[in-house]
Amino acid sequence: MKTSVLTASAFCTALTIILSQLIIPLGPVPISCSLLAVFLSGSLLPPFPAFLSQSAYLLLGFAGFPVFAGLSAGPGVLLGPTGGYLLAYPLMALIISFALKKQRSSSPVKKCLPLFFALFLCYLSGSLWLSVVSRISLSAAFSAGVLPFIPFDLIKGFLALWLSQRLKKAIRL
């Protein structure tokens, strides 16, 4: 792996940590900016480094470093109400990176599709996990853990694509 890719991977991990702290408390699942970093990881990095950057984030938090939203840490966070969303991060970054790498289209709409699919995966795993952990119906979990986030997450996705186009030119990955 090239030094520039390793450096960009570490940057994406650090960015996820930083953006995870920008939160708006909203019930059991806060609105955070962490998905912007996940989207950027997938948009900037090759598939395996994208996956690793988000896995490193989860491993740091699991090990007790206060990297999750609100400076929380530990296995309890991953086993708590937000665990399903967090555990989707590495797979989201992998899917986005792989799909964008295979894609030859310059159409902005087609570039958004991998992000929408990854976001759907996050919502699905997060809602299922929230439903089980909180002992609520899947529809209640969807209402609490997905509906309020859709507009913000779509904005984060568009912003990540826009930023990644500019960053790729600057850092030559």
pLDDT of 144 > 80? The answer is yes
- Tokens 């930023």 — which residue? 163
pLDDT of 67 > 90? The answer is yes
Alpha-carbon gap, residue 78 to 152, rounded angstroms: 22
pLDDT of 173 > 70? The answer is no
Q: Are 126 and 145 within 8 A, CB to CB? A: yes
Enumerate the domain spans of the chain.
3-171
In percent, how much of the chain has pLDDT > 70? 98
User: How far out from the chain centre does Cα 36 lie?
Assistant: 7
Residue 73: the pLDDT is 97
Residue 27: the pLDDT is 73
Residue 169: the pLDDT is 79
In percent, how much of the chain has pLDDT > 90? 79
Mean pLDDT of 40-58: 97
Query: Residue type for 88, please?
Result: A
Alpha-carbon gap, residue 60 to 55, rounded angstroms: 9
Indicate the pTM of the whole model: 0.93
Alpha-carbon gap, residue 125 to 108, rounded angstroms: 27
Residue 139: the pLDDT is 96
User: How far out from the chain centre does Cα 29 lie?
Assistant: 14
- 153 closest CA partner among 117, 129, 128: 117
Residue 26: the pLDDT is 76
Alpha-helical segments (H) within the chain = 3-20, 34-44, 47-62, 75-79, 83-87, 89-102, 108-134, 138-145, 150-171
Fold type of domain 3-171: Arp2/3 complex 21 kDa subunit ARPC3 (1.10.1760)
In tens, the pLDDT along 78-116 reads: 999 999 999 999 999 999 999 999 887 777 778 889 999
Residue 72: the pLDDT is 96
Classify strands 31-32 and 23-24 as parallel, antiparallel or unpaired. Answer: antiparallel
Alpha-carbon gap, residue 147 to 164, rounded angstroms: 26
Alpha-carbon gap, residue 166 to 87, rounded angstroms: 28
Mean pLDDT of 128-144: 96
